[in-house]
Chains A and B, each alone.
Chain A
Amino acid sequence: MTWTPERVQFELEKILPLVQKPGRYTGGELNQVVKTWDAVQTHVAFVFPDVYDLGMSNLGMTVLYDQLNRRPDTWAERVFSPWPDMEAQMRRVGMPLYSLESKHALKDFDIVGFSLPYETLYTNSLNALDLGGIPIFAEQRSPDDPLVIAGGHAVYNPEPIHAFFDAFVLGEGEEVIHEIVEAHQAWKRSGAPRRALLETLACIWGVYVPTFYEPHYHEDGTLAGIERTWGGAPETIQKRVVAKLPPPPKRPLVPYVDITHNRVPIEIMRGCTRGCRFCQAGMVNRPVRERPVEEILEAIEQALHNTGIEEIGLLSLSSSDYTHVLDLVQQATKRFANQHINLSLPSMRIESFSIDLMDELQTSRRGGFTLAPEAATERMRNIINKPVSTEQLLETARAIYSRGWHTIKLYFMIGHPSETLEDVQAIADLVKTVREEGRKIIGGRAKVHAGVSTFVPKPHTPFQWVPCDTLEQIQAKQALLQQEARGKGLKLNWNNPYETMVEAFLSRGDRRLAEVIYRAWQRGAKFDAWHEYFRYDFWMEAFAEAGLDPAFYTHRERNIDEIFPWEHLSTTVRKRFLAQDYMWSQQQKTRIDCRHQCFACGILPTFKDLRIANPGPVWQCPEVRPKERHHVVPMVQVQG
């Protein structure tokens, strides 16, 4: 018996009372888009392979849901991973993973698009395909199976999961998603074999079809090269960008149950000009594009009118760098003063201006003030290119305590390149110094919460060559912190080092890891980002079975000219630039904010036509003037 939407609905009524938070699985929320199944040409399922509570606050999913549902010929629906209690019930009755809107099984869709913002969702993706009735391996799919694609930050190196997806989207999805839908429609009409669709997709800017590429390895396991198996596929796949950010969604969904972030996310700016060397988001989301203040205010207005949600998150990678941030905050607080809403502005820089902004927002002091120095010594902050002086940090801390906050949250990372135990000791010392500054101002009420995560080197960053710390190194550093960063008013959080290992080998893995992921999932690995389900032993067994060594991926320092698994995938920030930045880091040489000086990372030469078509402050890259004599290669022109 097939699983029709009616049957799913009927069985759900019997199993939902048996699971935690059944409101995760019903759909039907305000602003959900409903269309007539048979009246629509293309059915797209967006899968966020984590629990509803997290997926519903995901910005990317909100944006793409809005984009596709504007098309009369397409219906985009949502799918989330069932929590293990729900999965057990679904498997007990044989119910497939279904979409929240129409309750169709995943396999009934034309296109299944996964959103993969982090690597620890890989096993959940396999689980979702399996629960949805779709063959896990791309090569086993028939013409009747959906096209399975993925996008998001974790697919900037998709090689470890190449076997499970038909195609990946590198970069921003707002425009390319339409091209993919149209390619699928044309292919469906043509009745051509599945390969024809893949060939069309491979020629779309930003789309990577892994089956058209084949890596070759040296004896020592490093890559010898990546060969194209079909001449029509591009040699290098370049990430997609939208020249101008489209207006934010007008009618975000309103969940009926409590979720992780009860807020409407509104993106005020994309990209970051600071160039922190550990930060993948800062490298892959270039160029910086800002939204006009008026457009943001209009989006807040619409969100309040259409959702009534009590918090608006004004999101970007570095809020205080948004050119008109003060103006935005002042206008927004004035305009929405009577609505009893919170405006939140995450990712603030370490400077007193950030406190001014928080004052303007009239934020409750109770949650504490968050700063992210990332490292505790100036030497280390130069290495990672987050050059803030300790004095500036302390001065900002003093201002925070004296303006009504009792708690400062400080975010650090251990495991930066060339870090020593002295640098780790400095974290404990700095935390205590900040507490002392607080005590001078507000006495014993002063608190410091230190969140210390472990650095994982990421592809497409200046640190893609460096080894990740070993388990023993991480444990020694964490033990030191636990010993030293103790006392009244201090709180310390850290990551499970075993989870860090999994993130580390998945981040810079090659195609051979597909077997490891598959075997780990078969053993039961899922929800790897949730400590209650995390199973390191499954991963180690999977590595042993596949005959691979995790240390090859985690702890090995790469040669500067090593061919990476992601060599054929370009973020347009050049490898030469990243290598130079890596060498600068070893000399503790910093780069200033690239809005003040262009370092020719590769974005402008590649996208100069886009820049010319979008002049002015929309982009934070320098202006490019069109040249009449086009045989002269235009160098980047810096104005002002």
Chain B
Amino acid sequence: MQRIRVFFSKTEAMRYTGHLDMQRAWERLLRRAGLPTVYSQGFNPRPRIQLAAALPLGFTSETEIVDFWLETQHEIHALEDQLKQVAPPGIAIHQVEEVSEEEQHAPALQSLMQSAEYLITLLQPIPDLPERTASLMAVDHLPRIRRKKKYDLCPLIFALDVLPNDEAGHQRLHMHLSAKESATGRPEEVLDAMGIEPHLARIHRVALHYEQSVG
């Protein structure tokens, strides 16, 4: 059995493909490649495919990671070519690695997640963006309610910066947020706290940070 790790981007074409559908997209991709994916035993066998960090609907990302297991050993360069050939629009494969013998049974990536960085592009101008950013970072508490649960957004924000505008003149923000399983900072919550309508922003994940060095 071989544990494979793939680093990839989720691009515009799959922006509205949810986490479960992404899982299925990988299952189909592996079947197109004709690879012997390992399946779970039992009544309803499922392919052993683990996506590192769920990406909310509507976000794109250049830093996705997936692990899957193959029944037989494969040469990594040949495998990379094979995967690239069958990748659908929306999945751009950057790098393919074999997870070492020792790490074979390491916990799922999801449980090792620490933080994530996002690039936000605003589709409508916010003239006082620097002021809003500064005042958000100045407070010690940001009590919010999500799905009827109260929480404090403040400790989940590690960094929030205004970036230079993009070529089309759109304003941009950089966010570094906690992404632990129990304490996830959501970029749309930060935007909302700044008084910016999240649906008028493009949210793009640019980095994932793990407890161990991954990639």
Contacts and interface: CB of A to CB of B under 8 A. Distances in A.
B94 interface: no
Interface string B23-48: 01101111110101101000111010
Given A14-B123, A308-B31, A340-B37, A257 B18 contact: yes
A22 B31 contact: no
Given A254-B88, A256-B25, A28 B13 contact: yes
A13 interface: yes
B28 A28 contact: no
Contacts of B58: 16-17, 22
B101 to A, nearest CB: 26
B123 A28 contact: no
A308 B30 CA distance: 7
A308 B198 contact: no
B170 to A, nearest CB: 12
A26 interface: yes
Size band of the B side of the interface?
35 or more
Contacts of B86: 308
Contacts, number: 81
A23 interface: yes
A258 interface: yes
A306 interface: yes
B21 interface: yes
B200 interface: yes
Contacts of B27: 308, 310
A583 B176 CA distance: 78
Given A22-B58, A340-B39, A256 B123 contact: no
Contacts of A272: none
A18 B199 contact: yes
B32 A308 contact: yes
A26 B16 contact: yes
A256 B36 contact: no
B84 interface: no
A26 B17 CA distance: 10
A364 B13 CA distance: 34
B89 A30 contact: yes
Contacts of B15: 26
B31 A257 contact: no
A261 interface: no
A338 interface: yes
Contact of A307 (B14, B32, B36, B44): B32
B21 A256 contact: yes
B207 interface: no
A28 B47 contact: no
Interface string A1-34: 0000000000001101110011100101110000
Contacts of A256: 13-14, 16-17, 21, 25, 88, 90
Q: Which of B31, B44, B58, B202 has the most CB of A within 10 A?
A: B31
B126 interface: no
Interface in B140-167: none
A26 B13 contact: yes
Q: Which of A17, A305, A341 has the most CB of B within 10 A?
A: A17
Nearest to B46: A340
A223 interface: no
A18 B44 CA distance: 35
Contacts of A307: 28, 32
Contact of B36 (A254, A258, A310, A338): A338
Contacts of B17: 23, 256-257
Interface of B: 12-18, 20-21, 24-25, 27-32, 34, 36-37, 39, 43-45, 47, 57-58, 86, 88-90, 123, 198-200, 202
Given A256-B17, A304-B32, A306-B32, 13 more contacts: A22-B16, A22-B57, A28-B14, A29-B89, A30-B88, A256-B13, A256-B16, A257-B21, A258-B24, A304-B31, A308-B29, A308-B32, A340-B45
Interface of A: 13-14, 16-18, 21-23, 26, 28-30, 254, 256-258, 262, 304-310, 338-341, 364, 366
26 contacts: A13-B123, A13-B202, A16-B58, A17-B198, A21-B16, A22-B16, A23-B21, A26-B13, A28-B14, A29-B88, A30-B88, A256-B16, A256-B21, A257-B17, A258-B20, A258-B21, A262-B24, A307-B32, A308-B28, A308-B30, A308-B86, A310-B24, A310-B27, A338-B36, A340-B39, A364-B43
Going nearest first, the 7 A-B pairs with the smallest beta carbon separation are A308-B28, A17-B199, A308-B31, A23-B16, A30-B88, A308-B32, A28-B13
